[in-house]
């Protein structure tokens, strides 16, 4: 009987062992803390950037929407401007191994060099832990965290959900505007917008 009970327990736990989903990120609230390895294998935590503005950028080098922003140089320009202003810009890859956009450390470094990315660091999140924590949905999906660690912007790079580089000319650049607001000490005018792009390639539902 005892054995049976243990067996049932094991089966039951196996069947129902869906972990609780994490709480969604909220603008105006503290940004969820995380740690992740960067492309060099160093552990990077959000906490170490306290006192600096932080940008989180989800990316996938095979995604045509990411292609629009890197192929046109738009993303690199935004990165250069932000890092010149002292912003820590973390590019995060949450693609699972075997899925589009997954890169190993050396591959990520090679990619960064090749596209001329100007981000502060590239973080590898192959298990999608950080992605799920922030509920990152698309590539690109952008988050801005202010110096006190509060989430002040999340959404798209701009308001043009298309892969056409021509759209950049008419785009309302939400991210650049949010960073300008933060720099000037103003509340962010548009704190949330719809992220657009390819789905983040988490690999599985669990």
Partner 1 sequence: MKFLLGALVALLLPVALLVPAAALAQPVKTGHIEAELVASAQGIAPGQTIQIALRQSIQKGWHTYWKNAGDSGEPTRIAWTTPAGWSVSDFTWPTPRRLPVGPLVNYGYEGEVLLPMTLTAPKDATPGQPVTLNAAVQFLVCADVCVPEDAKLTLSLPVTAGPAPADPKWGPRIQKTLADAPKPAGLTAAFEKQGAVVKVAITGQALKGADLAGAYFYPASGTVIDHAKPQPIERGPEGLTLTLTPGYDFQKPQPPAELAGVLALEGKAYEVSAAPGPLPAGASGLGAPPAHAPVPAGADKLGLLSAALFALVGGLILNLMPCVFPVLAMKAASLAGHGGGAHAEARRQGLAFGAGAVVTFLVLAGLLIALRSAGAAVGWGFQLQDPPVVAVLALLMLGVALNLSGVFEIGTSLQGVGSGLAAQSGLVGAFFTGTLAVVVAAPCTAPFMGPALGWALTQPPAAALVVFLFLGVGFALPFVAVAFAPGLLERLPRPGPWMEVFRKALAFPMYATVVWLVWVLTVQVGPDAVPRILGAAIVLALAGWLAGAAQRRVALGERAAPLGVAAAVLIAVAVVGGAFWPRYAEATAATAESAHLDYQPYTPEKLAALQAEGRPVLVNYTAAWCVSCQVNDRVALSTKAVAEALKRDNAVYLKADWTKRDPAIAAELASYGRAGVPLYLVYGAKGGPPAILPSILTQGTVVKALDKAAQAS
Point out which residues bind partner 1 (CB under 8 A): 1, 4-5, 8-9, 11-13, 15-24, 26-28, 61-67, 70-71, 99-100, 111, 114-115, 128, 132, 137-138, 154-155, 161-164, 191-205
Q: Are strands 54-58 and 88-93 parallel, antiparallel or unpaired?
A: parallel
User: Closest CB to partner 1 among 86 and 116?
Assistant: 116
Q: How far is the CB of 114 from partner 1 (least distance, A)?
A: 7
User: Closest CB to partner 1 among 173 and 203?
Assistant: 203
Inter-helix orientation angle 74-84/174-183, to 10°: 10
Q: How far apart are CA 53 and CA 22, in angstroms?
A: 24
User: Closest CB to partner 1 among 23 and 85?
Assistant: 23
Q: How far is the CB of 202 from partner 1 (least distance, A)?
A: 4
Residue owning tokens 């719809």 = 194
- C-alpha distances (whole Å) from 121 to each of 10, 44, 102 are 42, 9, 16
User: Closest CB to partner 1 among 164 and 185?
Assistant: 164
Query: Which residues are paired to 123 by β-bridges?
Result: 38, 92
Q: How far is the CB of 85 from partner 1 (least distance, A)?
A: 25
Query: Which residues are paired to 143 by β-bridges?
Result: 56, 154
Q: How far is the CB of 72 from partner 1 (least distance, A)?
A: 10
Q: How far is the CB of 34 from partner 1 (least distance, A)?
A: 13
Number of Cβ within a 10 Å radius of residue 127: 14
Nearest to 63 by CA among 4, 141, 150: 141
User: Closest CB to partner 1 among 126 and 195?
Assistant: 195
């Amino acid at each position: 009987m005892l054995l049976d009970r243990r067996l049932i327990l094991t089966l039951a736990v196996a069947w129902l062992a869906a972990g609780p989903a994490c709480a969604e990120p909220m603008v105006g609230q503290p940004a969820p803390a995380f740690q992740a390895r960067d492309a060099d294998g160093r552990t990077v935590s959000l906490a170490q950037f306290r006192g600096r503005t932080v940008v989180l950028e989800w990316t996938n080098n095979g995604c045509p929407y990411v292609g629009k922003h890197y192929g046109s140089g738009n993303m690199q320009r935004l990165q250069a401007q932000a890092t010149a202003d002292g912003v820590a810009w973390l590019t995060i890859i949450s693609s699972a191994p075997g899925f589009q956009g997954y890169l190993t450390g050396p591959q990520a470094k090679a990619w960064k060099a090749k596209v001329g990315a100007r981000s502060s660091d590239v973080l590898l999140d192959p298990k999608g832990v950080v992605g799920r924590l922030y509920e990152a949905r698309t590539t690109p999906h952008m988050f801005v965290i202010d110096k006190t660690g509060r989430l002040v912007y999340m959404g798209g790079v701009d308001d043009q959900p298309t892969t056409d580089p021509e759209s950049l000319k008419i785009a309302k650049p939400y991210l650049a505007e949010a960073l300008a607001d933060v720099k000037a000490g103003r509340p962010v005018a548009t704190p949330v917008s719809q992220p657009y792009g390819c789905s983040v390639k988490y690999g599985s539902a669990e």
